[in-house]
Amino acid sequence: MAGHNIIEKYRIVFGSQTGREVLADILASMGYFQLEDVSPEGLVLHNQAKIILQKCGLLNYQQRVDLLEAWFSLPFEVIEEA
């Protein structure tokens, strides 16, 4: 039950528009959106970013499908700017 409560807390913290902007900034600073080859140290940060997403409840199958659908619904220009 404790795991479920922490997911709720992460979703409260990052669920607002401001929280999502902060989460996006945290993930970017951890190299989560980096496409180039990642150093071993970078992989550690990337894995930590995945843990944050998991604690937000965003890495289950349905959430991944929903996330991909949202990404592909964006205009190409928006994706290029991110």
For the record, the structure tokens of 12 come out as 């409260």
Amino acid at 43: L
Total domains present in the chain: 1
Q: What is the DSSP string of the chain?
A: -HHHHHHHHHHHHHSSHHHHHHHHHHHHHTTTT--S---HHHHHHHHHHHHHHHHTT--SHHHHHHHHHHHHHS-HHHHHH-
Query: Does position 80 have pLDDT exceeding 60, yes or no?
Result: no
pTM: 0.69
pLDDT of residue 37: 76
pLDDT of residue 2: 59
Per residue in 15-56, pLDDT (tens digit) is 999 999 999 999 999 988 887 777 888 889 989 999 999 888
Q: 7-16, 40-49, 68-77: lowest mean pLDDT where?
A: 68-77
Angle between helices 17-29 and 2-14 (to 10 degrees): 100
Binned at pLDDT 50, 70 and 90, residue 1 comes out as very low
pLDDT of residue 65: 84
Which residues form the domain of 18? Answer: 2-81
